[in-house]
Amino acid sequence: MTPVAPQQLPVAASTRGGGLSDVPGLPPEQVFTALGGSARGLTSAQACNDLAHYGPNELPASAGRGLWRRLLSQFTDLFAVVLLIASGITFLAYGLQEPRDEGTLQLAFAIAAVVLLNAVIGFTQEYSAERTAESLQAMVPRTCTVLRDGERAVLPVRELVPGDLLVLEAGDAVPADCRLVEARAVALNNAALTGESEPARRTADAVPPGPLLHARNCLFMGTDVVAGAGKAVVFATGSATEFGRIFKMTARAPRQRTPLQVQVAVMARRVASAALVIGALLFAIRIPSGQPVVASFVFALGVMVALVPEGLPATLSVSLAIGVRRMARRHALVKKLLAVEALGSTTVICTDKTGTLTQAEMTVSRLWARGAWHEVSGVGYEPAGTVADPGPVRELLRVAALCCDARLLPPDERGGWRVLGDTTEGALLVAAAKAGVDIAGEEQRAPRVMEFPFDSDRKLMTTVHALADGDSVVCVKGASQELLARCTHVDGEGGPEPLTTAIRSTVIEANDAMAAQGLRVLGIARRALSGQVAGSQEKTEAHLVFLGLAGMQDPPRPEVTDAVASCRRAGIRIVMVTGDHPLTAEAVARRVGIVRDPAPTVVTGTDLDSMETAALRELLGRPAELLLCRVSPEHKMRAVAALQELGQVVAVTGDGANDAPALKHADIGVAMGAGGTDVAREAAEMVLLDDSFASIAAAVRLGRSVYRNIRKFLIYLFSHNIAELVPILVATFVGFPLVPITAVQILAIDLGSDVLPALALGAEPPEPDVMDRPPRPRREPLFSAAVVRRFLFLGSIQAVGVCAVFFWHIGSAGIPYADFTSDNPVYREAITMVQAGIVVSQFFNAQAVRTDRESVFRIGLWSNPALIAAGLLGVAIMAAISYVPFLQAVFHTAPLDAADWAVLVAFGALLLAAEELRKWWLRRFRPPAAGPLARGARR
């Protein structure tokens, strides 16, 4: 039994009459009493009892569907249900027949085999277990250091309980939610939880009341200590942590049905309804004519099978899988097949900033010293790049490097260059290395003997270093305004010079110029001390010599700007949703092209808290450029839901655990694969293996082509359904007692001759202008008027051809219709002609549907060799059905001669010629209407 309290506070806390929200406001010495701990930590016995009460510090495993349930769900598709019912009734009809017809039994098994084949293909392609809870657990460190019985102990994280006293150092991952009681320059990387890119300083002092997540003396599970050291008392574990709250929110977030799922479901209902109605109508027509009931039913069943596109589910699944493989080659891993098309339908992308648009690596890009600018090349933590004219700034960077606690780590098995500690300090170390500063050597020549850590009041960090001659040097970095107030001199070419009012104004102007570019600016200063160091912090930080300014940023990925421009051309709106400061967000948005207007709409999380749902929808419905900043996971998911209510198809990008609920709720969640968290990757439908926003634009292009290709093979599949149905209807109304094509022959066409060409159509490359068109409307049906008109046109031509060859053969026998039996050689040859006629005409039809308006001869008949090969294979299968004795017995076919094949090829060529004539007429008399993007370009 491992119950987990929704808000974990030991009994001692309840005696204070308060709750968890009171803990941040307590002085450190009172925290132990409030949380039931002590400065010596818990006793082993107390920890054992608490573990039994609160349960292990881990998140519950996700209750995913079992394999059998996933497989059985493949049989709930409407096409599958209709076919299963048809198969069952066919087995029943076989049992009622006297004498029994083996063809009926073959039909029953064939229909059941089709359903099973579709289910296996769908299950194989879409099998992807959801492991959100396991991924959240994977983010939690496996061991941690605590005080138990007054002694340090390294324990498994799952054994932590509220009241435990954690010992934390730089580089440690925080294993539970806890309250600091002792802190030495502690800085926290909260990006995985809040999305903020800059390290957040933490204190052990009491803080004013406010949201727990914003309490500066609290640490949360899944974050990382990047600087300093301290001790903290655990107040929540497992599901009661902030991570646990996000886990529960993610579990509750529903998976959205993609536009294609909706349209396929609508199409399936309509086709199935039409098949049942027409089948029932024909059954009702044949009964009064004196036909046997069972025979009439089997006849009606054949009509229904002719209308249901049995190969569509398999074709759709495998076609989407082709899109998945193409996207994988562009570094986009798609876990759900239908997400391929959903991405192509995207109208809005809600993008994170840190790690998605940016490198997630602070980089010094500009330096200012002695009145001159010095540009720094290279991005990230790899010390590859140069500093323009490094001489005047080398001392600035040497002092900055000495005044850092961070460490620059070279590549190893864990990855490339990285920083242990504050990323801002890491950026200074990299810039110093680019300027030729030997950081390790400088630390040996001037070892640190004293330090005054950074705090939020002074906004400065100071270190004191001993020199070989017995003197010392003070190194200071921090906010420029605070630093200038302590400086009396400025570094000049000949040495220190007095810091005049004019020079001070110049420094402030340079600082403001960097800040206006969205850079984070630090001032650097030093002071030489003679003899033994002594004095207070205030005295040590006085009479400083100002060296210059360092401007740094989390640089945008170089390929993002082009990707954003591509999405704009495609009519996709981009909304930045970030936990960062509005000024930082706007600066990055401008650099990558998301923001162009002088005054974009900027909304913070506080604004969203006071905004009603109707007001939020009105805000999101405006076409203005929009930035959502300082937002929580709830804010992000609320914005996504509001956009969906407005009819938008929403893609959400993210890399942190805080992004998981929105990633799951979106139409398409896009997580970062290299720098993202496991929970984000598992909650998303697509993972960018290279973390590049450019891969999103490439995936949208491929997704759009997938939808167009789906329409192509829908036209291809449904056009021959007409050719299968019309001969049956004609035979019924002219009084011919037998079917012109049997249900088994129809299944052979649908699966043997149609699937591979349809798949080859699904592999057609994207058209050149696919990203110059607006997104298709969310509610646009698969069976649009244009699609229906086209397959009716092509299907009618095929139907006329096969009806002609069938009744020509029947008439050539000179036998009355009533005297025909299923064993009549002429009849068997006639139904063979019908089946072969459909297969051959589909060979030409596949070429015809490759383009909407352009001549297929212009793009080249051989430009899709897979389509030619698939069509020839279908003809070869038909030839085998016609000539191989075993298959003749199964399908009741007969061998065709050369003249028969020549007639069928002529009919197929006629179909292609008619379609080319239609396209010529469209090009000549109906030029395409200009979309909104084209009209905007002309304006």
Alpha-carbon distances of 2 from 60, 62, 767, rounded to whole Å: 11, 17, 58
How far is it, in rounded angstroms, from Cα 666 to Cα 640? 6
**Out of 352, 491, 580, 659, which one is annotated catalytic?**
352
How far is it, in rounded angstroms, from Cα 870 to Cα 875? 9
How far is it, in rounded angstroms, from Cα 319 to Cα 328? 14
How far is it, in rounded angstroms, from Cα 228 to Cα 405? 8
Residue carrying structure tokens 């500066």: 216
CB 780 within 8 A of CB 710: no
Helix (H, G, I), strand (E, B) or coil at 528: strand
Helix (H, G, I), strand (E, B) or coil at 587: helix
CB 87 within 8 A of CB 112: yes
**Residue-wise burial string across 313-339, b where 16 or more C-beta atoms lie within 10 A, e elsewhere:** bbbbbbbbbbbbebbeebbbbbbbbbb
Pairing relation of β-strands 348-351 and 573-577?
A: parallel
CB 342 within 8 A of CB 258: yes
CB 845 within 8 A of CB 816: no
How far is it, in rounded angstroms, from Cα 59 to Cα 241? 9
How far is it, in rounded angstroms, from Cα 139 to Cα 633? 18
205 part of the active site: no
Question: Could you tell me which of 735, 807, 727 has the C-alpha nearest to residue 288?
Answer: 735
How far is it, in rounded angstroms, from Cα 325 to Cα 339? 13
Alpha-carbon distances of 745 from 663, 765, 837, 887, 900, rounded to whole Å: 46, 32, 12, 11, 18
User: What residues form DSSP beta bridges with 551?
Assistant: 366, 521
Spatial strand order of the sheet with 573-577 comes to 332-334, 686-688, 668-672, 650-654, 348-351, 573-577, 626-629, 601-604
| Catalytic residue positions, numbered | 352
